[in-house]
Structure 1
Amino acid sequence: MTSHDARPSGCTPFEEELVNVLKSYADSADTPAFDAPGIVRRTRRRRTVGIGAVAAALVVAGASTALASMSDGEGVRGTVASSGVSQSGKDTVVVVGKRGDSFTIDFAGLDLVLAKQLLAKARLELGTVGRADLKGCKPGSVIAADPHTPALVPIGGTVNLTLCSR
């Protein structure tokens, strides 16, 4: 047999040597250690943090949209849908400011808490809060404001509100 002839294994000497070297290399390497539970934990933590960040961004965007919808660029505008009779009209609209530089607030159907927030945002004071019986209105909602349109209320002025007692 010459060195170029095929061996009983069917490989040349070079191929046999190569196979032997690769086998010894494969047998000498240690098996890598994976911390599978740790990897899963980190992945879940990152996913949770990502979801929390997206949720926080959505809440902030929603809150800023809600605040922006209350403002018309010139001042405060309080328009909220309410169940019951809509009282939107002259009796619930307050004009704030001075001639040429004013804005309106419509208190129709708002509850006292939201009405106080709008008054504070417009830098107005809450005067007396009265109650009146009006058929079909939502209990606790604003049905009248004094002074109302067309009178102007200066910044820092007082607004009296009448709530539905039904």
Structure 2
Amino acid sequence: MTSHDDVRPSGCTPFEEELMNAMNRFANSAEAPDFDAPQILRRTRRRRTLGIAAVAAALIAAGGGTALATSVGGSSSSTPAATSTAAKSDATTMLYLFSDGDSVPIDFAGWSLDQAKTYMEKTQTKLGTVTKKAVKGCKPGSVLGVSPHAPKTVKKGDTVSFTVCAG
């Protein structure tokens, strides 16, 4: 049984009063955290900028490697030693002319029509007529010829027609 003699003037039991004192001591002794908001903002912006720069560098490196592989692969097919294959590859080679005057040979031999369409989107050229030709031993749907082909040049906005294997 409890008597009313143990009740404090504050209306709290000794346990409650001790608990309140402990919480007050803790709240008054803890230091408030010190945030440097401008420094946090600068660090966030710097990290974001570095991330964007890293992604851009990776894309440039991947694109540059692709362009280099295309130009190196195309130039090796036009060497004088490969005279018998040069005439054959010219029918499937598109010579793309950039606005700065540089040109890159793109050999579509063996490519599927879908791959050629994707590449044409990258060069911003238009797809002309697609003619199917029956040739023994070729893979159905693979490119057999382009028009216009090298040595004529094709630039952004030009139309290119394809001849593909009918099977």
The two structures have a TM-score, normalised by structure 1, of 0.49
Give TM-score, length-normalised by structure 2: 0.49
Higher helix share: 2
